[in-house]
Structure 1
Amino acid sequence: MKEVKITIDGKEVMVQEGKTILQVATEMGIKIPTLCAMPELGFARGACRVCVVDVEGLPTLTASCVYPVREGLVIHTKNERVLKARKTILELLIASHPLDCMTCEQTGSCELQNLAYEFGIKESRFERNKEQIPLDESNPFIVRDLNKCILCGRCVEICNDIQQSYAINFGNRSAKTRIIAGLGNNLGFETEMTSGFDAKIKYSNCVSCGQCVAVCPVGALIDKDAQGKGRAWEFTKVKTTCNYCGCGCSFDFNVKEGKVVKVTSNPENVVNGINLCVKGRFGYDYIHRDDRLTTPLIKKNGKFEKVSWEEAYQLISSKFTQIKKESGSDSLAVLSSAKCTNEENYLLMKFGRAVLGTNNVDHCARLCHSATVAGLAQAFGSGAMTNSIKEIANASVIYLTGSNTTENHPIIALEIKKAVTKNGAKLIVADPREIELVEYATLWLRQRPGTDVALFNGLMNVIITEGLEDKEFIEQRTEGYEELKKTVLKYTPEVVETITGVPAEDIRKAARIYATSPTVSLIYSMGITQHTTGTDNVFSTANISMLTGNLGKENAGVNPLRGQSNVQGACDLGALPNVYSGYQSVVDPKVQEKFSKAWGVELSNKAGLTVIEILNAAYDGKVKGIFIMAENPAMSDPDLNHAREALKRVEFLVVTDVFMSETAELADVILPGVTSAEKDGTIT
């Protein structure tokens, strides 16, 4: 786009044509006040009119957030005419706004209050009777006070355009205009302005993400649980990473007197920006619950007793030493955790190998994404996503399988929705279930459970037989193509239809879309990895991506969505029985020598047991001592009765956790753990 010359506050500059005056001013460091536009939502709003500027040649002032620059514009952002108009606009807003600033939750962070202070407005010259609207406290996390609403539209925009829940919109007309709640869908309300209908927010499509709370400039939308617990200036903000899922979102704990009062998002966060889901924004109450484990416990005569850290450490040391001496190092094992930091996983892995002397080290990835590590590491050399989360929104096609993304990875789901509704991407959902994202899909392939490999083979069959493969990429960057071709040519769409139940014509349509699009992001999760053919499923994702050349370029690749917050990091740092950190094999003599030298001890050259094998060995009496960090196999193992009996048979069990879990109840020693709010570290 070409550049144009404009003059703004007496300064000539060359700027990109088409940008708004507000955008240009912001980039130049010129502050123009606004109560509706914000960069995270797109600058163009035009609702509050506080951002008016004086453009020479125009008869009236214009809203800078919606007026595009063009050649020769002369703009004044703070002359007397502009400042007088802004003050009048603020007075009009204040005339119908409650002046309960002394008790308002938003005091200190209210943008209307701050502008009133800046413009020296102590009272409004205007009088206006406004209907008193009852508070809406029906939502468990959010209080809506429409008496304070200034109709800026931020909440509507973030709910409908970004979150795409369509829970709220503008309703009624003229002086009775308000934000109403209703039942929307991904096509929005029937009309932009809806009349005669309103409901409490709990009866709408609201998913309680709190996005509206994050962008509200006044006190119309507030965090219910944070009411009365502190003012903005009393909080210390501590940045942390959410530990609920694998998205890796960052946010700020707002801390007062050592307690987390609320969570706020930060637009500078790389992964999520201002976006958070209900768990990330409101799921922090566990930090200060009364039933937290706070002191070490030792089981004596079948009951737990509080002891000192010294006594607990002494018992752990003596018992593990005794078992190691009597039964050997491989009678011991440690279970690490994908909910803990890289540093914690590294230390426990090192403890198991360097202190206990065993490679019986594993964690929950064995049951969820070990197939990803095995498959992608063999195919690409790395078991991680090949794209960043932000690239998803720019893909031409998204192929989604084995993932209920809106529930399990909500922030990534926003990128998928954005790709479809804003950027024109095509979405192919391959899932037996009718997940929410099916509503956004171009094609929905309903394969029978367990037939994923056949479906991928059918897609590749069409791509090869119709000559749609990326021949240059295959020739230059792959090997084994002829073997792949020989196999998949047996899987015609008609054959695959009998296996998967997916109509042959849908297989052809999906294959053509996949192979003829510039960039395809293949996204999958545990729906295809927690399976007897999990590794083969992952191989298939790699094969179709290489077949179509969708690797090694922006917005295209294979992207596994991890379950826990640090599955990737726990694997990377070596909480696995066959590799040290960096996926270096424990049976490689050179690797073993390197780690032995670094740690100053002799290390085992025998691959350890997986978590399933550890529990089986415990059941059989071969594993006699286990250290478990923040895992709960007595609740999460596929065979609960077997897992619980195995843990009961262990001679000595140590568990460290934040709460008393089903596994902790079986322990001989419990060490209290800490939450993400109480420790430093990194996750991957």
Structure 2
Amino acid sequence: MTNSMQEADKSNVILITGTNTTWNHPVFGGMIKKAVKEKGVKLIVVDPRDIGLAKLADIHMKQNPGSDNAWLMGLQHIIVKNDWHNKEFIKERTEGWDDYVKSLEFYTPEKVEEISGISKEQLFEAAKLYATAGRGAIFYAMGITQHSHGVDNVMACSNLQMILGNYGVEGTGVNPLRGQNNVQGACDMGGLPNVFSGYQPVANEDARKKFADAWGCKLEDMDDKVGQTVTTMVQNAGASIKGLYIVGENPMMSDPNQTHAKHQMEKLDFIVVQDIFLTETAQIADVVLPAAAFAEKYGTISNTERRVQYTNKALNPPGDAKHDHVIVAEIAKRMGCKDFPETVEALWAEIRKLTPSYAGISHERLQKLPGLRWPCPTEEHPGTPVLHGGKFSRGLGLLKAIEYKPSAEYPSKEYPLVLTTGRLLQHYHTGSMTRRSKVLEGIMPSGMIEINVNDAAKLNIKDGERVKVSSPRGSIEITALVTKKIKEGIVFIPFHFAESAANILTNDALDPVAKIPEYKVCSCKVEKIVKNL
């Protein structure tokens, strides 16, 4: 996030899209509710379902799944045409204006209505409110990123904020709500195939030399090639990938096109899984290494607003379970690696030494404070709640000309509905933890498919009946939830439930840049299951 969650009440208007915030980020969802109800912050929600925040919205636009770059650029078309853009900010802090403006010509209100299903009148109303209200903040999640054009969607959000000058000030910014509690920290530490910690590129020779010197390696032994993402690793299993060491991940449930993913995993010579429970993936592993849960270890967590927080250990891990870093250090030792950091303190010292944005964040400071937000380059630095105050990390912000790209798969005669997937309030990701909770499992023990009342009537499906859902990749059986809360022609399935695994249906088409799968759009059909008497 460029800004922080606590700034929600500093905004004049908030745009929520691609996130069912009150379900998936309920604490922050409460902050949004409070800002709207008590501070009078205006709210625009863009979602094909009647999510919780839609009830409070000044404007709720129900877009067709996969049309986000169209309606986002359509807003900008209207803003520029009506002279509501921030000319001073654009002139002083951005580049690429000419190509960008030319690209807006495609996104007329009429064209956007055709693509997105959002009426040109409602699009104009939203553009006017967002552009003229004052400080505007965008909050989004996987509903924006998990597309075959997810990078373009994010760039469209950035474009919108730049042309309005919504950067570097409280209550503004582009703010992704990350999908897991420490996924920000994992990325910060180089858990991406193209960077070292602190987003230092592996292709940069100076960065490689810095890490080679710290780790006692030769520069020529430091690979300068970008590695593979989780999805491409599975795609290349049995070819360039012979084995996988999987830590805290459950690809046998979370990867798209599950039948194909399972087939690929079977090609591997060797699988190691390090996790706190025997997940679906751990069940097919050659070796399972039991890890400690969050309350059984100490260290740091970096959350979605870049806030680094210290966590204390509450109890010892059960049985043979160990802290993740202890397991990795033990393996490194057995492989002959000398001087591998074995304690949290030693690891943190290395992180601070090699990662400029974390250099000023000590455990001692964190134990006295409610966290520090990077960049924090020195121990005297207070942290950085708001990014891009004086300039962008690249200098001038790039206004990106975005060409409209449709999703990889759309409805057909055989598969006439659009499936989108997501999470419920009661469960988390593949259910590895939450489905072991008697309370949560008692509230929501099984999956369901949300289907519009009109679609259900056409298919003679009643609420609570069992249905078969099929896509070009496979089929599942699940219970129907007939509702008016989802747009006609669209169905929704949560992906927590192995017995009705949504990812058997989803498409493994990838964004060409980020390699993110298209979990949010695929074609499907729904059929009533008729019992034989």
**TM-score range relative to shorter protein:** 0.5 to 0.7
Offset at residue 668 of structure 1 (A): 1.1
Shift of 1:642: 2.2
- 1:608: Cα distance to partner? 1.3
Query: Which residue of the other structure, out of 55, 61, 75, is the alignment partner of 1:445?
Result: 61
Q: Is the aligned partner of 1:466 residue 2:85?
A: no
* 2:277 is the alignment partner of 1:651: no
Q: Does 1:535 align with 2:151?
A: yes
Q: Write the letter of the residue equivalent to 2:278.
A: M
Q: Distance in 2 between matches of 1:524 and 1:416?
A: 13
Deviation at 1:394? 2.3
Instruction: Using the TM superposition, give the Cα deviation of residue 387 of structure 1 relative to its aligned residue in structure 2, in angstroms.
Output: 1.1
Range that drifts further, 639-648 or 439-448:
639-648
Alpha-carbon distance between aligned partners in 2 of 1:605 and 1:495, rounded to the nearest angstrom: 43
What secondary structure, in the 3-state scheme, does the structure 1 residue paired with 2:107 have? Answer: coil
1:274-309 CA-partner distances (Å, limit 9, x unpaired): xxxxxxxxxxxxxxxxxxxxxxxxxxxxxxxxxxxx
In the alignment, is residue 614 of structure 1 matched against residue 233 of structure 2? Answer: yes
Query: How big is each residue's C-alpha offset from its partner over 1:15-66, in whole Å with a ceiling of 9 and x where there is no partner?
Result: xxxxxxxxxxxxxxxxxxxxxxxxxxxxxxxxxxxxxxxxxxxxxxxxxxxx
Residue 635 of structure 1: how far off its partner (Å): 1.1
Q: 1:550 aligns with which of 142, 158, 166?
A: 166
In the alignment, the residues of structure 1 paired with residue 182 and residue 44 of structure 2 have an alpha-carbon distance, to the nearest angstrom, of: 28
Which residue pairs with 1:578 in the alignment? 194
Deviations 1:250-279 (A, max 9, x none): xxxxxxxxxxxxxxxxxxxxxxxxxxxxxx
2:40 corresponds to which residue? 424
* Cross-structure match for 2:497: none
Deviation at 1:483, TM superposition (A): 1.4
CA offsets, 1:365-405, max 9 Å, x none? xxxxxxxxxxxxxxxxxxxx111111012211010100100
- 1:399 partnered with 2:18: no
| Aligned partner letter, 1:567 | V
What TM-score, normalized to structure 2?
Answer: 0.55
Measure, in 2, the Cα distance between the counterparts of 1:462 and 1:443: 16
- Equivalent of residue 604 in structure 1, options 220, 223, 234: 223
Q: Which residue of 2 aligns with 1:8?
A: none
**Structure 2 counterparts to residues 216-615 of structure 1, below 5 A:** 385-601=1-217, 602-615=221-234
1:679 paired residue number: 297
Question: Is structure 2 residue 256 aligned with structure 1 residue 630?
Answer: no
Q: Structure 2 CA distance, aligned partners of 1:659 and 1:587?
A: 36
Percent of residue pairs identical? 48
Superimposed CA distance per residue, residues 154-191 of structure 1 (whole angstroms, 9 cap, x where no aligned partner): xxxxxxxxxxxxxxxxxxxxxxxxxxxxxxxxxxxxxx
Distance in structure 2 (CA, Å) of the matches to 1:622 and 1:488 = 42
Separation in structure 2 between the aligned mates of residue 603 and residue 453 of structure 1, nearest angstrom: 38
SS in 1 for 2:44: strand
**In 2, Cα distance between the equivalents of 1:592 and 1:427?**
45
How far 1:431 sits from its partner (Å)?
0.9
Root-mean-square deviation (Å): 1.1
Q: Which amino acid aligns with 2:231?
A: I
| Residue 622 of structure 1: how far off its partner (Å) | 2.9
Between 1 and 2, higher relative CO (CA 8 Å, sep ≥ 6) is seen in 2
Distance of 1:612 and 1:443 partners within structure 2: 36
Q: How many angstroms apart in 2 are the aligned matches of 1:567 and 1:480?
A: 32
CA distance in 2, matches of 1:586, 1:453: 30
Moved more, 598-607 or 394-403: 598-607
Q: How much has 1:459 moved relative to structure 2?
A: 0.6
The one-letter amino acid of 1:673's match is A
Residue identity opposite 2:235 in structure 1: N
Deviation of the 1:489 alpha carbon? 2.9
Provide the aligned length of Structure 1 versus Structure 2. 299
Matching of residue 667 in structure 1 with residue 265 in structure 2: no
**Aligned match of 1:213:** none
Per the alignment, in what secondary structure is the counterpart of residue 564 of structure 1?
coil
The one-letter amino acid paired with 2:92 is Q
**1:538 to partner: Cα distance:** 0.1
**Aligned equivalents of 2:173, 2:226: Cα separation in 1:** 32
Deviation, structure 1 residue 495 = 2.0
- Which segments of 5 or more consecutive residues in structure 1 lack a partner in the other structure? 1-384
Letter of the structure 1 residue corresponding to residue 144 of structure 2: I
2:266 maps to a residue whose letter is: K
TM-score (norm 1): 0.43
| Alignment-mate amino acid for residue 632 of structure 1 | N
Aligned AA (2:215): W
State the distance in 1 between where 2:244 and 2:108 align: 50
The offset of 1:444, in angstroms, is: 0.8
Shift of 1:421: 0.6
Shift of 1:463: 0.7
1:490 CA displacement:
2.9
- 1:641-665 superposed Cα distances (whole Å, 9 cap, x missing partner): 2222322221121111111111111
CA distance in 1, matches of 2:229, 2:85: 39
Q: In structure 1, what is the Cα distance between the partners aligned to 2:29 and 2:62?
A: 20
Classify the secondary structure of the residue corresponding to 2:299. coil
Secondary structure at the aligned position of 1:585 is classed as coil
Deviation at 1:558, TM superposition (A): 1.0
Q: CA deviation at 1:572?
A: 1.2
Partner of residue 529, structure 2: none
Describe the SS at the equivalent of 1:683: strand
Residue 174 of structure 2 aligns to a residue whose secondary structure is strand
* Secondary structure in structure 2 of the residue aligned to 1:649: coil
Aligned partner of 2:251: which letter?
P
Question: For 1:600-658, what per-residue CA distance to the aligned partner results, in whole angstroms no more than 9, with x for missing partners?
Answer: 1232222212112211221x343212111111101111122222232222112111111
Rounded to whole Å, the distance in 2 between the matches of 1:622 and 1:551 is 42
Query: Quick one: distance in 1 between partners of 2:175 and 2:207?
Result: 29
Letter paired with 2:244: I
Cα displacement (A) at 1:503: 1.0
1:52-201 to 2 correspondence within 5 Å?
none
SS of equivalent residue, structure 1 residue 597: helix
In the TM superposition, what whole-angstrom CA distance separates every residue of 1:521-542 from its partner, at most 9, and x where no partner exists?
1111100100111000000000
In the other structure, the counterpart of 2:506 is none
